[in-house]
Amino acid sequence: MDLSSITGAVSSGDIVTGVLAIGAVLAVVHVTVKAAKLVMAFLKSA
């Protein structure tokens, strides 16, 4: 089974870029949720 045509089409740079992009999206979502909780707690206490 020769997978060189599949593996040759994807470079390691593309994989690294994809992983970093997914990590960035997850980080943004996490920060947004934390900020929303902080704002809600602030408004609740005020």
DSSP letter assigned to residue 10: S
% residues pLDDT > 90 (the chain) = 63
The verdict on residue 1 lying in a domain is no
The verdict on residue 4 lying in a domain is no
Indicate the number of domains in the chain: 1
pLDDT tens string, the chain, 46 residues long: the values are 777 777 777 788 888 999 999 999 999 999 999 999 999 999 998 7
Q: Cα(4)–Cα(6) distance, rounded to whole angstroms?
A: 5
Domain of 33 in residue numbering reads as 11-45
